[in-house]
Amino acid sequence: MEPGVNKNVDGNSVYFAIYWSRLKKAEKYEIIRTVPSMPGIFELYYQDEKKKLNLFFLARAYYGGLRHTIRSRTDPELEDDAARRKVLNTYTCYYRYTILQSYKDMSDILYFFRQTYKPGDTTIQHSGRYENIFLEEYSDDKIVTI
């Protein structure tokens, strides 16, 4: 399955189907070699002592592209957030991504995820184009976060 997003609009509702890349260990040379320099959304996970994967970062990569953004967000020397830097220094980390060209669609998807994880949080706004946002995830790794 190729990473990407399908979108269907029905009146004031939008339906997104996200197809994630395979989950990969965050290694800088592998990222440079395999991640495309395209816009999209990515997730970062860390594996705790019990071998459980824990989502710790979800973001968009637009102007810099996925390769640059994932590379900089998975390197403790380049990460500027102290909490994320601590996770990167402590645990084995993994990433996955999907390619998406539309900044407004990225906003709607990130808003959906944020409202799912932290209902009522207003740090991420949707595009304002739709009254209802629905989303389904598809992953060869069988990792679905919603």
**Residue pLDDT, tens place only, 105-119:** 999 999 999 998 888
- CA angle 48/54/60 to nearest 5° reads 135
In a domain, 53, yes or no: yes
In a domain, 145, yes or no: no
In a domain, 111, yes or no: yes
Query: Nearest Cα to 93, choosing from 72, 69, 74?
Result: 74
In a domain, 60, yes or no: yes
Residue matched to tokens 């990407």: 4
Say whether pLDDT at 100 is over 90.
yes
How many other C-beta atoms can be found within 10 angstroms of the C-beta atom of residue 51?
7
In a domain, 146, yes or no: no
CA distance 52 to 15: 30
Q: How many domains does one find in the chain?
A: 1
Put simply, whether the predicted model's pTM sits higher than 0.85 gets the answer: yes
Structural domain for 88, as ranges: 4-138
- Ramachandran quadrant class, 28 (left: phi over 0; alpha: psi -120 to 50; beta: rest): alpha
